[in-house]
């Protein structure tokens, strides 16, 4: 039995979630792994792009209202998102001999990144509605939480990248 098959059995629920989110999800062989990684990074990139789309109107509204107390923290969140998006776009150097040795950990990392990028998008959508309807009271506190959330995503992604050889 291959290491990939063992791993998918070990984390069956997470694997099924990834298969549902990403058609052809597999790191079984180098060519498939490279394709899966590209598709995965694109999927997470689309989600974080939606986050950026939610953030921009809030920054614009803060500047239009001359609300520099909120504009600065919102722009910091945007910068953290941009850093994460840049990391997602950096290509990996694939080595046919190098393989991910702990596939179960990789699958868990992918699920965490996907779930958390979706959660971040939901949080920013709600925050945008609150802010643009005058109900966003604790923007600075929320921005600090968002930066921490994005920083955690970045950490998981960098660990994943390192483990894949990039």
Determine the distance from the C-alpha atom of residue 101 to the mean position of all C-alpha atoms in its chain, rounded to a whole number: 22
Burial (Cβ within 10 Å: 0-12, 13-18, ≥19) of residue 153:
buried
Q: Which domain holds residue 142?
A: 3-163
Instruction: Give the number of C-alpha atoms closer than 13 A to the C-alpha of residue 30, restricted to the C-beta side.
Output: 9
Tens place of pLDDT per residue across the chain (166 aa): 688 888 899 999 999 999 999 999 998 888 888 899 999 999 999 999 999 999 999 999 889 989 888 899 999 999 999 999 999 998 776 655 445 568 888 999 999 999 999 999 999 998 888 887 877 667 888 899 999 999 999 999 988 887 776 6
Nearest-angstrom CA–CA distance, 16 and 64: 46
CATH number at residue 108: 1.20.120
Nearest-angstrom CA–CA distance, 57 and 50: 12
Label residue 165 left, alpha or beta by phi (over 0 means left) and psi (-120 to 50 means alpha).
Answer: left
The Cβ of residue 57 has, within 10 Å, a number of other Cβ atoms equal to: 12
Nearest-angstrom CA–CA distance, 131 and 137: 8
Domain count for the chain, please give it: 1
The Cβ of residue 49 has, within 10 Å, a number of other Cβ atoms equal to: 15
């Amino acid at each position: 039995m291959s290491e990939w098959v063992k791993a998918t059995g070990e984390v069956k629920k997470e694997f099924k979630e990834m298969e549902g989110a990403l058609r052809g999800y597999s790191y079984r062989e180098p060519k498939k792994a490279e394709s899966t990684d590209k598709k995965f990074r694109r999927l997470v990139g689309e989600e974080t792009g939606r986050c950026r789309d939610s953030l921009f109107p809030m920054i614009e509204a803060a500047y239009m209202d001359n609300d520099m107390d909120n504009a600065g923290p919102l722009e910091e969140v945007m910068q953290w998102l941009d850093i994460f998006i840049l990391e997602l776009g950096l290509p990996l150097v694939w080595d046919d001999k190098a393989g991910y040795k702990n596939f179960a950990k990789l699958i868990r990392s992918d699920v965490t990144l996907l779930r958390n990028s979706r959660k971040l998008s939901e949080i920013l959508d709600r925050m945008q509605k609150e802010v643009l309807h005058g109900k966003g009271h604790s923007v600075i506190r929320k921005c600090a939480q968002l930066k921490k959330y994005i920083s955690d995503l970045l950490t998981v992604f960098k660990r994943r990248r390192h483990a894949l050889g990039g």
